């Protein structure tokens, strides 16, 4: 990566990681329609929505900062 002056920086941008997501047919149809409405690829819209959901959870204080497994663990009484 080059900076404003054309010098190669020491920090490279992290490469995105691909994941697989399974959706119900109706949800996929809605996502496709939404993406088409905005002229975006479905994967790009899905990535954007996941990023926004993570930001929202962090702002709300509902995000496990140290252990993502806590997202799926039931609270014990």
Residues 6+ apart with CB under 8 A from 28: 42
Query: DSSP letter at 61?
Result: T
How confident is the model over 3-16, as pLDDT tens digits? 555 555 556 667 88
Gyration radius (Cα) of the chain, Å: 18
Q: Do 16 and 27 form a contact (C-beta atoms < 8 A)?
A: no
Whole-angstrom distance, CA of residue 2 vs CA of residue 59: 33
How confident is the model over 8-65, as pLDDT tens digits? 555 666 788 899 999 999 999 999 999 999 999 999 999 999 999 988 988 888 777 6
Query: DSSP letter at 10?
Result: S
């Amino acid at each position: 990566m080059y900076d404003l002056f054309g010098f190669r920086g020491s920090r490279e941008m992290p490469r995105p990681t691909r994941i697989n997501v399974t959706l119900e047919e109706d949800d996929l149809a809605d996502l496709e329609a939404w993406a088409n409405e905005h002229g975006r690829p479905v994967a790009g819209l899905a990535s954007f929505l996941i990023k926004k959901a993570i930001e929202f959870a962090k702002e709300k204080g509902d995000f496990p900062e140290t252990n993502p497994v806590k997202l799926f663990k039931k609270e014990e009484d």
